[in-house]
Amino acid sequence: MPTTQKKTPLKSARANGRSSGEDNERVISRIAESLEVAQADLNKLRGSLGAGANDLRKDLSKLLRDARRDAKKMASASRKDLKRLQKDVVSAAKPPAARSRRTRAAKPAGRSSRAAR
Protein backbone atom coordinates (compact mmCIF):
# COMPACT_ATOMS: atom_id res chain seq x y z
CA MET A 1 0.00 0.00 0.00
CA PRO A 2 1.60 3.31 -1.05
CA THR A 3 2.12 5.87 1.61
CA THR A 4 0.39 9.15 1.13
CA GLN A 5 2.41 12.25 1.57
CA LYS A 6 0.94 15.11 3.46
CA LYS A 7 1.03 18.37 1.66
CA THR A 8 2.90 20.90 3.66
CA PRO A 9 1.21 24.26 3.87
CA LEU A 10 2.86 27.12 2.07
CA LYS A 11 5.23 29.02 4.23
CA SER A 12 4.23 32.52 5.02
CA ALA A 13 6.49 35.44 4.25
CA ARG A 14 7.59 35.63 7.87
CA ALA A 15 8.44 31.93 7.96
CA ASN A 16 10.69 32.45 4.96
CA GLY A 17 12.46 35.23 6.79
CA ARG A 18 11.05 37.94 4.53
CA SER A 19 8.61 40.58 5.55
CA SER A 20 5.64 41.46 3.43
CA GLY A 21 7.32 44.78 2.66
CA GLU A 22 10.27 42.98 1.13
CA ASP A 23 7.90 40.81 -0.90
CA ASN A 24 6.08 43.90 -2.19
CA GLU A 25 9.38 45.55 -3.10
CA ARG A 26 10.52 42.44 -4.95
CA VAL A 27 7.30 42.14 -6.94
CA ILE A 28 7.17 45.82 -7.86
CA SER A 29 10.83 45.87 -8.89
CA ARG A 30 10.20 42.81 -11.06
CA ILE A 31 7.30 44.62 -12.75
CA ALA A 32 9.44 47.72 -13.28
CA GLU A 33 12.21 45.64 -14.84
CA SER A 34 9.72 43.96 -17.18
CA LEU A 35 8.41 47.37 -18.26
CA GLU A 36 11.96 48.57 -18.93
CA VAL A 37 12.68 45.51 -21.07
CA ALA A 38 9.45 46.00 -23.00
CA GLN A 39 10.29 49.63 -23.66
CA ALA A 40 13.81 48.75 -24.80
CA ASP A 41 12.43 46.12 -27.20
CA LEU A 42 9.89 48.60 -28.50
CA ASN A 43 12.64 51.10 -29.23
CA LYS A 44 14.52 48.44 -31.22
CA LEU A 45 11.52 48.25 -33.58
CA ARG A 46 11.69 51.97 -34.30
CA GLY A 47 13.29 51.80 -37.77
CA SER A 48 11.32 48.86 -39.10
CA LEU A 49 7.84 50.31 -38.59
CA GLY A 50 5.78 52.26 -41.09
CA ALA A 51 4.28 55.70 -40.50
CA GLY A 52 0.99 54.46 -39.03
CA ALA A 53 2.69 51.98 -36.72
CA ASN A 54 5.18 54.64 -35.64
CA ASP A 55 2.37 56.64 -34.00
CA LEU A 56 1.25 53.50 -32.22
CA ARG A 57 4.83 52.86 -31.07
CA LYS A 58 5.04 56.38 -29.63
CA ASP A 59 1.77 55.96 -27.77
CA LEU A 60 2.83 52.60 -26.41
CA SER A 61 6.22 53.98 -25.42
CA LYS A 62 4.53 56.78 -23.48
CA LEU A 63 2.22 54.28 -21.81
CA LEU A 64 5.15 52.09 -20.74
CA ARG A 65 7.08 55.09 -19.42
CA ASP A 66 4.07 56.21 -17.37
CA ALA A 67 3.49 52.69 -16.06
CA ARG A 68 7.11 52.44 -14.94
CA ARG A 69 6.88 55.80 -13.18
CA ASP A 70 3.62 54.76 -11.50
CA ALA A 71 5.20 51.49 -10.35
CA LYS A 72 7.97 53.45 -8.63
CA LYS A 73 5.41 55.72 -6.99
CA MET A 74 3.42 52.71 -5.83
CA ALA A 75 6.55 51.13 -4.35
CA SER A 76 7.36 54.21 -2.29
CA ALA A 77 3.74 54.68 -1.23
CA SER A 78 3.40 51.06 -0.12
CA ARG A 79 6.70 51.32 1.76
CA LYS A 80 5.45 54.41 3.63
CA ASP A 81 2.06 52.81 4.31
CA LEU A 82 3.68 49.68 5.68
CA LYS A 83 5.94 51.67 8.00
CA ARG A 84 2.96 53.69 9.25
CA LEU A 85 0.93 50.52 9.74
CA GLN A 86 3.74 48.86 11.69
CA LYS A 87 4.02 51.94 13.88
CA ASP A 88 0.25 51.91 14.50
CA VAL A 89 0.29 48.20 15.37
CA VAL A 90 3.13 48.68 17.83
CA SER A 91 1.42 51.63 19.49
CA ALA A 92 -1.90 49.73 19.66
CA ALA A 93 -0.18 46.75 21.28
CA LYS A 94 1.18 48.85 24.11
CA PRO A 95 -1.06 49.05 27.18
CA PRO A 96 -2.51 52.49 27.70
CA ALA A 97 -0.55 54.59 30.15
CA ALA A 98 -2.14 55.09 33.51
CA ARG A 99 -3.83 58.41 33.28
CA SER A 100 -3.05 60.72 36.10
CA ARG A 101 -6.16 61.86 37.83
CA ARG A 102 -6.08 65.51 38.51
CA THR A 103 -8.23 66.85 41.25
CA ARG A 104 -9.25 70.41 40.96
CA ALA A 105 -8.41 72.48 43.94
CA ALA A 106 -11.51 73.71 45.71
CA LYS A 107 -12.08 77.41 45.27
CA PRO A 108 -11.81 79.42 48.48
CA ALA A 109 -15.14 80.32 50.04
CA GLY A 110 -14.45 84.03 49.60
CA ARG A 111 -16.37 86.48 47.49
CA SER A 112 -16.40 86.20 43.74
CA SER A 113 -15.03 89.03 41.62
CA ARG A 114 -18.57 90.09 40.60
CA ALA A 115 -19.77 90.40 44.19
CA ALA A 116 -16.84 92.65 45.02
CA ARG A 117 -18.00 95.29 42.52
For the segment 26-61, what is each residue's pLDDT rounded down to a tens digit?
A: 888 898 899 889 888 888 877 777 777 878 888 888
60 close to 42: Cβ distance less than 8 angstroms? yes
83 close to 33: Cβ distance less than 8 angstroms? no
The pLDDT value given to residue 66:
92
Q: Confidence band (pLDDT; 50, 70, 90) for 13?
A: very low
The pLDDT value given to residue 103:
60
**For residue 75, which amino acid is it?**
A
Select the more confidently predicted residue: 96 or 103: 96
Mean pLDDT of 59-64: 89
Rounded Cα distance between 24 and 86, Å, is 15
Q: Confidence band (pLDDT; 50, 70, 90) for 63?
A: very high
The pLDDT value given to residue 59:
87
Q: Which whole-number Å values give the CA distances from 43 to 51, 52, 54, 66, in the listed order?
A: 15, 16, 10, 16
